[in-house]
Every structure is written in structure tokens, then in C-alpha cells.
Structure 1
């Protein structure tokens, strides 16, 4: 089923309203859709490299707006559905401790999820659920999604089709390694 959804999403890149489809996919991917916007971005940029920056901008704006929907789901739907279930299981105290710890590292959680293959939608919902300050969430989402989408756009704009396989297979790993080194550097500086 997921493969069929992936292929249908890829077909949207050739649609005459591809930018609108990219906006829709970027928006819903940030809160519940399983296919990342890169699936549309890559063929769209390869087909029209002169529009690379516009395509990245559409993905960025739509993704951050979709992240706000995910935040709202976490902030409002979690209270009515998730919390009663946790209380009936005797897990309310554990979740309160998790809530505090998540917000201690919230900036990093949003940044890491925004640029790595980790599902961004999970962090958007958790950010709302844990009442992360909305300004922090939005600013970090903009930074993270801009890094991800504009780096993909820049690589495709500069190198074209030869870099496609690298982006599809290894860019997520490169972002993950970068974030590990970045966070590790801050930890080293803090404790040395």
C-alpha cells in the first residue's frame, strides 16, 4: 500500500499544478502523511532547475504551516484522547516527567527531526502535547525545514541528475551525522 502511495505522489510532480500538490504534501506530511515532500521536490527541480528556490520555499512554508497543525493536534487532541488512556494505565506521572524533559531539549528535537529522516510529524505533535513554547517551535521548524529543503534544492540546482541518487539514498544519513556532530560539539564545549 505504501509503495502505491509513493508512486502516486511521484506522479504529482508531472502535474500542471505540481507546486500546489507539493504544498499539500508538505503540509500534511508535517502532521500525518507518511511520504516526505522530497519525493515531489526532486523530480520537480530536475525538470525545472530555474525554479529550485521557489520549489524549496513552497515546501518550507507549507511544511511549517503543517507543523502548526501537528502542534495543534498534540495540544488539543492529546488532552481529550491520550491523557485519559494514560491515567487509566497509571502512567500520568511518567508522562509528566517526559513532558518536562522533552521541553528541556525541545529545540534540538525539532531541529533534528526537521532535517533528518526522523518523522517530523512525531515531533510536531509532541511539541504541542508538551506545550513547547510556540515561538521556539516555529523558529526551529523554519530553521530545520529551510536547511533540509534548500540544501536539497541547492544540490539539485548545482549538480542536476547525477546527485539525485546521493540525495535519495544518503542525504538523510549525512544530515543525521551532521546533527550528531553538532550536538556532540555542544556537549563537549559545555562539559569541558
Structure 2
């Protein structure tokens, strides 16, 4: 039996999401998937969101909202894991010959200086948000700031995905499947440049 590639798996998940969109618990299941995606689930939640929106466009606001809230709650869990288990992880890393304490402190310092920007990038772009959440906890990033930046980043991302799917239908879904990394990265950079220009 051949293993299905990631794209095929995502397509199957989209079809399953579309099939279950009308069910009463669809939005809550989406929120739960979004939560675990922020901690450990390897496949982005965007295809689920797009599939549900395509099948039930009238629920677009609810789907995007549940997806955002679930993701941020999962992010907080990741932050807590990093905060409380962080010292143990640090000790493991410091036992690696080339990973010196000086290097670790340099990385931690850089994260402290640019933590909010890194959180936004992790929340909005296809950067692994789950890694950002745990690292934020390890670095001791302010939890309130973390939640706010996660809400902004995840909210913008998921509402864009949901409303583009509602407005343009299947073409938008196909575009997101093929170009999610490119499109979200470009938009993320544009937002950062605009923020720098304004402030």
C-alpha cells in the first residue's frame, strides 16, 4: 500500500470537512483541531477552515472565530509547556557539545528583543506556530503580549482564509492549497513593512 503524500491527505481532509460542515458540532470540532494544531498536530488547520466555509458559507464568521480562539488557547498551552518545562529542555540542549551557554543566551536575548514580531510572524505566516509558542514560554515572553499578538496574527490569517473562500469559492480554495506558504508570507511581510512605515 502506497503512502499518501501530504497534498493528497490535505485534499481528503478538505472533502471530509465539507461533508461534515452542516453538523451542529462542526465549528467546535474545528476549534479543537485548531487548538491541537498549535501544540502538536502537523497539518495546518487552514484546509479544514476553507473546506467548512466552502460547504457552509453562512457560518464563515463562526468558523473563523472558533478557529482563532482554538488556536490561541492551544498557543497558551504551548507557552505554558515552554515556561514550565523550559529549564529541562535547556539542560538537554546545553549537553550538546556545539550548543554552548553563550550561544543559547544570545538566541534568548534576540528572542526577548524581537519576541512580539516573532510571535506575529509565527501566528500569521506558515512558520511553525507550535514551535513559536513553546519558545515564547521558554524565553519568558509576557503572556498577555503573547496572547494579544497571537490573536492578531491568527485572527488576520484565519479570517482572510475564510472570507476569501466565501467570496471566491473553489478557486480561492485551490489557490490556498497550492500557494498558502507564498501568499501568507508575502502578506505577512507587507504588514510588517507597513507597520514600520507607520511607526
Aligned length: 189
**Aligned partners of 1:189, 1:23: CA distance in 2, in Å?**
34
**SS of equivalent to 2:41:** coil
Shift in Å, 1:177: 1.5
Determine the structure 2 residue equivalent to 1:55.
63
Q: Does 1:86 align with 2:93?
A: yes
Determine the structure 2 residue equivalent to 1:140.
149
Determine the structure 2 residue equivalent to 1:45.
53
CA RMSD of superposed structures (Å): 2.3
**Aligned partners of 1:171, 1:6: CA distance in 2, in Å?**
12
Distance 1:103 1:7, change over 3 A: same
Determine the structure 1 residue equivalent to 2:125.
116
User: 2:189 aligned to 174, 180, 190, which one?
Assistant: 180
Determine the structure 1 residue equivalent to 2:107.
98
Gaps of 5+ in 2: none
TM-score (norm 2): 0.84
**Aligned partners of 1:56, 1:182: CA distance in 2, in Å?**
20
Distance 1:41 1:186, change over 3 A: closer
User: 1:131 aligned to 134, 137, 140, which one?
Assistant: 140
Determine the structure 2 residue equivalent to 1:156.
165
TM-score (norm 1): 0.87
Determine the structure 1 residue equivalent to 2:41.
33
**Aligned partners of 1:12, 1:181: CA distance in 2, in Å?**
31
**Aligned partners of 1:168, 1:22: CA distance in 2, in Å?**
18
**Aligned partners of 1:54, 1:181: CA distance in 2, in Å?**
27
**SS of equivalent to 2:42:** coil
**Aligned partners of 1:7, 1:158: CA distance in 2, in Å?**
20
Shift in Å, 1:149: 0.5
